[in-house]
Amino acid sequence: MTEPGSGAQTLFDLKEMELNFGPQHPSTHGVLRLKLKVDGERIVDCYPIIGYLHRGTEKLFELHPYFQNVPHTDRMDYVAAATNNLAYVAAVERLFGLTVPPRARYIRTLLCELQRISSHLLWLATHAIDIGAMTPFFYTFREREIILDLFEEYCGARLTLNCMRPGGQPFDLTVGWEERCREFIDDFPSKIDEYEGLLTENRIWKKRTVGVGVLDPDVAVDYGVTGPLLRGSGVNWDLRKATPYEAYGEVEFDVPLGKNGDTYDRYIIRMEEMRQSSRIITQCLDKLPEGKIMAHRPRVMKGPKVGEAYAAIEAPKGVLGFYIVSDGKPGPYRCRVRPPSFMNLQVLPEMTRNHLLSDLVAIIGTTDIVLGEIDR
Amino acid sequence: MNDEPKKPGQDELPADEGGAETTPESPEADAPEAAEADDQAKAEAKAKAEAVAKAKAAAEAKAAAEAAKPPWEKLPVAPEDEDATDDPLVAALREQHGEAIESAFLCAGDLRVQVARSAIADVCRSLKIDHDFTMAEDLCGVHYPGREVGEFEVVYHLYNIPENRRLRLKVAAGEGESVPTVALVHRGFNWLEREAYDMYGIRFEGHPDMTRILLWEGFNGYPLRKDFPVEGIDTGSAIYPEYYDESAGPVTGTGTGWRPQPPPEPEPEPGAAAGEAEEGEG
């Protein structure tokens, strides 16, 4: 037995120990690696290591003309392709000065809100499984399947949608799509009640989420955290309200805000966001105007002027921005993606400090990260 | 204009008489011709004027139709830069930082301010404290090879949540020049500066953890620079220094010595083989 303080360390002297979490771990939602410093089961520090899924998307953007880059955006946040498409085409439209016809704006809003619901459903399913509730997975995938079918009917793809073009929409809605969408969305709030019946007042769920991963609003803003994470801490910033784009200025909806900034608040907010999304979809279907779906533009677009444009939208995970620099050629000189998950993951060490190792899984789940977007 | 009706009559008379006495009254004979030419010119001018008026009217109608068209039917017009030096925010920054604020432009609703490299952290701090630009939205690098004011550019996006206002700051930096870090002003810029370093090799002075973030620590090169090949480069020397020279790596086709095998030769037909054998014997 070594004397305490002699410098030699045995297992029992060791107070803090390093632990590798991931990259191949089912609850890291992809290939995220965390270097943890733990004191028993308590997390002292956490150092995320990313980049395992780096594909050089920003370099690829520079190789292709503006109008051929949309499919690259699908592969970033691969569970919410429609919002990625929208952020990219919005930046290109701003660069070229294109104006989108109203029908296309409404179709885009419809697709984006359906995408938000499907992204939140996937989040709920995996988050609940991480914490130990198996059943919500089957419930949410039932509804997600219908949304993916609607996407498939509209553009032929279920995940990598490629469903928007700079200047408008490539296709009009298919015959009967509106009815099928309305049928789904009329029924959907009752489905949310089902999920909430399983979780909201569930004692185990509350024990695992209330007071876990508290995020201070000032810290959240300082770290550039956006989306439900930021609103969970009570900061009212939703780009759909702040700078309305597409048809969001013409529909009514509320922005849910949290009070405590913990995992439970963020769960409540995402559930409420799904309800608000279905409200937006119903209004869009009611107001859907007739007319053109593509702006008048030359058949072959020459390069824009030398300049730059930045456009940001509210993606399901937070603010997704595209910054495009043009040198007058047909393709972007530089195309920068501002991924919401990247900034949201950065705050993870702040949220996990002094929590138990088992809470780490809940906190990773609540940040709702997609590694395809972080590593690009 | 009054002469016009008479002229046809005058025309006819000289034409009848013209056969007899063309030579003596040349001026008179000229006159009808001149009148004729004059007449023609006038008619032409009139037609021209009419055509111009018509074209003008058509153009006006077209312009009116164009103006009446909804914006998505018109040809796109790219946004223009406007000078924004007199913007109150820029004026306030000028007062605080003087020459460090180099220029300011407004384009498509976004304010863009060029800042001197050494002053960027101070400008960000005063924007955060005095002007409510609390949200660290984005930071990225851009590479302009051979540019005079500095090969690289660092672009910052800050957001003011209460006023819903976005601000873009730009800093130029040459190869080997480091930019003061803003990670101590907005903690959100920590990873973004690491990414800019990872992709462009721009160093940030005073950054708490200036390491690569997306690529592995031994990666050789900065992939988003314009001179970096899209196919990538091999960085084998960083993993196996005992096998490869510095900044070298495996070369295609040499690694394990494996080569694609040539296709097997077709077996000769029995008859032909027999013939060959006979020939050999002969």
Q: Average per-residue pLDDT in chain A?
A: 87
**Alpha-carbon distance values, A295 to A245, A287, A326, B67, B107 (Å):** 16, 20, 21, 16, 22
Set of chain B residues whose Cβ sits within 8 Å of the Cβ of A165: none
User: Which residue's structure tokens are 């002053």?
Assistant: B119
Q: Average per-residue pLDDT in chain B?
A: 74
- Judged by CB atoms closer than 8 Å, whether chains meet at B78 and A312 is answered as no
The model's confidence at residue B240, banded by pLDDT at 50, 70 and 90, is: low
Neighbours of A230 (CB within 10 A): 32
Tokens of A275: 């309800």
Pick from A54, A307, A321: which is nearest to B214 by CB?
A54
- Judged by CB atoms closer than 8 Å, whether chains meet at B188 and A222 is answered as yes
The residue that leads in pLDDT, A258 or B245, is A258
Any chain A CB within 8 A of the CB of B162? no
The model's confidence at residue A185, banded by pLDDT at 50, 70 and 90, is: very high
Query: What number is the average pLDDT over the span A267-283?
Result: 92
Pick from B78, B188, B215: which is nearest to A307 by CB?
B78
Residue in chain B closest to A338 (alpha carbons) equals B138
Widest distance between CA atoms in chain A: 84
Q: What's the pLDDT score for residue B253?
A: 44
The model's confidence at residue B14, banded by pLDDT at 50, 70 and 90, is: very low
Nearest to A320 by CA among A58, A151, A88: A88
pLDDT of A4 > 90? The answer is: no
Q: What's the pLDDT score for residue B54?
A: 80
pLDDT of A341 > 80? The answer is: yes
pLDDT of B264 > 80? The answer is: no
Q: How far apart are CA A7 and CA A177, in angstroms?
A: 72
The minimum CA-CA distance between B11 and chain A, rounded to whole Å, is 57
Any chain A CB within 8 A of the CB of B199? yes
Set of chain A residues whose Cβ sits within 8 Å of the Cβ of B155: 323, 336
The model's confidence at residue B237, banded by pLDDT at 50, 70 and 90, is: low
What percentage of chain B carries pLDDT values higher than 70? 69
- Judged by CB atoms closer than 8 Å, whether chains meet at A58 and B134 is answered as no
Peptide bond into A48 cis (omega under 30): no
| DSSP reduced 3-state for A167 | coil
Q: What's the pLDDT score for residue A121?
A: 93
Per-range mean pLDDT, top range of A6-15, B191-200, B241-250: B191-200
The residue that leads in pLDDT, B76 or B203, is B203
Pick from B71, B135, B190: which is nearest to A346 by CB?
B190
The model's confidence at residue A322, banded by pLDDT at 50, 70 and 90, is: very high
The model's confidence at residue B72, banded by pLDDT at 50, 70 and 90, is: confident
Nearest to A204 by CA among A128, A118, A125, A148: A128
Q: What's the pLDDT score for residue A146?
A: 92
Pick from B138, B214, B216: which is nearest to A321 by CB?
B138
Lowest-pLDDT choice from B61-70, B145-154, B163-172: B61-70
pLDDT of B117 > 90? The answer is: no
pLDDT of B261 > 70? The answer is: no
Query: What number is the average pLDDT over the span B187-193?
Result: 90
Q: What's the pLDDT score for residue B265?
A: 74
DSSP annotation of B249 reads -
Any chain B CB within 8 A of the CB of A364? no
- Judged by CB atoms closer than 8 Å, whether chains meet at A297 and B108 is answered as no
Any chain A CB within 8 A of the CB of B161? yes
Q: What's the pLDDT score for residue A276?
A: 92
Q: Where are the beta strands (DSSP E) in chain A?
A: 17-21, 33-39, 42-49, 307-315, 318-326, 334-338
Q: How far apart are CA A333 and CA A164, in angstroms?
A: 21
Residues 122-151 of A with CB under 8 A from B: none
β-strands B110-115, B165-173 pairing:
parallel
The residue that leads in pLDDT, B80 or A26, is B80
- Judged by CB atoms closer than 8 Å, whether chains meet at B70 and A101 is answered as yes
Q: Is the model's pTM score more than 0.90?
A: no
Query: What number is the average pLDDT over the span A339-347?
Result: 91
Q: What's the pLDDT score for residue B221?
A: 76
Residues 273-292 of A with CB under 8 A from B: 292
Any chain A CB within 8 A of the CB of B77? yes
What percentage of chain A carries pLDDT values higher than 70? 95
DSSP annotation of B100 reads G
Nearest to A231 by CA among A204, A200, A255: A255
Set of chain A residues whose Cβ sits within 8 Å of the Cβ of B74: 99, 296
pLDDT of A26 > 90? The answer is: no
Residues 181-220 of A with CB under 8 A from B: 219
Q: What's the pLDDT score for residue B233?
A: 66
Pick from B110, B191, B230: which is nearest to A310 by CB?
B110
Query: What number is the average pLDDT over the span A159-168?
Result: 88
Q: What's the pLDDT score for residue B218?
A: 67
Lowest-pLDDT choice from A96-105, A122-131, B231-240, B246-255: B246-255
pLDDT of B235 > 80? The answer is: no
Amino acid at B240: Y
Set of chain B residues whose Cβ sits within 8 Å of the Cβ of A342: 191
pLDDT of A5 > 60? The answer is: no
pLDDT of A302 > 50? The answer is: yes
Q: What's the pLDDT score for residue B32?
A: 57
Q: What's the pLDDT score for residue B259?
A: 42
Query: What number is the average pLDDT over the span A1-29?
Result: 66
Query: What number is the average pLDDT over the span A28-35?
Result: 81
The residue that leads in pLDDT, B258 or B237, is B237
Set of chain A residues whose Cβ sits within 8 Å of the Cβ of B216: 51
Tokens of B118: 């050494």
Q: What's the pLDDT score for residue B34?
A: 62
pLDDT digit string, tens, across residues A140-152: 999 999 999 999 9
The answer to whether A368 touches A31, Cβ cutoff 8 Å, is no
Torsion of CA A68, A71, A72, A78, to 10 degrees: 170
| DSSP reduced 3-state for B237 | helix
Tokens of B124: 């960000």
pLDDT of B256 > 60? The answer is: no
What is the residue extent of each domain of chain A? 57-337
Any chain A CB within 8 A of the CB of B107? yes
**Is the CATH number of domain A57-337 2.40.10.220?**
no
Q: How far apart are CA A213 and CA A215, in angstroms?
A: 6
pLDDT of B185 > 80? The answer is: yes
Q: Which residues of A162-197 are buried (b: 16+ CB within 10 A; e: fewer)?
A: bbbbbbbbeeebeeebeeebeebbeebeebbeebbe
Q: What's the pLDDT score for residue B277?
A: 47
Amino acid at B143: H
pLDDT digit string, tens, across residues A197-209: 888 888 888 888 8
Domains of chain B with CATH codes:
82-210 (3.30.460.80), 215-249 (no CATH)
Query: What number is the average pLDDT over the span B259-267?
Result: 61
pLDDT digit string, tens, across residues A211-269: 888 888 989 998 989 999 999 898 889 898 888 888 898 899 999 998 888 899 999 99
Residue in chain B closest to A299 (alpha carbons) equals B75
Residues 205-234 of B with CB under 8 A from A: 212-216, 223-224, 228, 230
Lowest-pLDDT choice from A15-29, A83-97, A356-370: A15-29
Residues 329-348 of A with CB under 8 A from B: 333-334, 336, 338, 342-343, 346
Set of chain A residues whose Cβ sits within 8 Å of the Cβ of B78: 95-97, 304-305, 307
The model's confidence at residue B271, banded by pLDDT at 50, 70 and 90, is: low
Q: With 0-12 CB in 10 A as exposed, 13-18 as middle and 19+ as buried, what is A198?
A: middle
Set of chain B residues whose Cβ sits within 8 Å of the Cβ of A334: 140, 142-143
pLDDT digit string, tens, across residues B15-63: 444 444 444 444 454 555 666 777 887 788 888 888 888 888 888 877 7
Lowest-pLDDT choice from A60-74, A331-345, B74-88, B229-243: B229-243
- Judged by CB atoms closer than 8 Å, whether chains meet at B214 and A376 is answered as yes
User: Which residue's structure tokens are 């490629």?
Assistant: A162
